[in-house]
């Protein structure tokens, strides 16, 4: 890693979509830390104005329900529709590269 963890996260997400678990493995930090950093990255990019963090929402693998209005970046524990705990992780990317 050449920069801070947050800078590395932004660089990885500029290249394409990744889950927090994939970022965790790539950067060698805990998944929980990745979620903390993603919140800061989202605010920093929004303040900069030229880029933004794009979140492809988590969805239920059993019924297909998508968590579109969820504000949190973490994986939901279960689907509110069918109560299944089989939920696909949200995917993240950065758009509007400088």
Residue 2, H or E segment: none
Q: Cα torsion at 30, 36, 42, 45 (round to 10°)?
A: -80
Query: Residue 38's domain is classified under what CATH number?
Result: 1.10.10
Mean pLDDT of the chain: 91
Q: pLDDT digits over 50-79, tens only?
A: 899 999 999 999 999 999 998 899 999 999
How many domains is the chain partitioned into structurally? 1
d(CA 52, CA 46): 6
Q: What is the pLDDT averaged over residues 75-87? A: 95
Range of the domain at 68: 5-95
pTM, whole model, 2 decimals?
0.86
């Amino acid at each position: 890693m050449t920069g801070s963890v947050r800078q590395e996260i932004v660089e990885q997400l500029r290249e394409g979509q990744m889950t927090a678990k994939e970022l965790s493995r790539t950067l060698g930090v805990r998944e929980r830390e990745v979620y903390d950093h993603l919140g800061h990255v989202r605010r920093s990019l929004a303040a900069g104005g030229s880029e933004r963090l794009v979140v492809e929402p988590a969805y239920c693998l059993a019924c297909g329900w998508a968590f579109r209005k969820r504000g949190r970046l973490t994986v939901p524990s279960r689907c509110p529709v069918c109560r299944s705990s089989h939920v696909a992780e949200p995917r993240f990317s950065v758009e509007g590269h400088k």
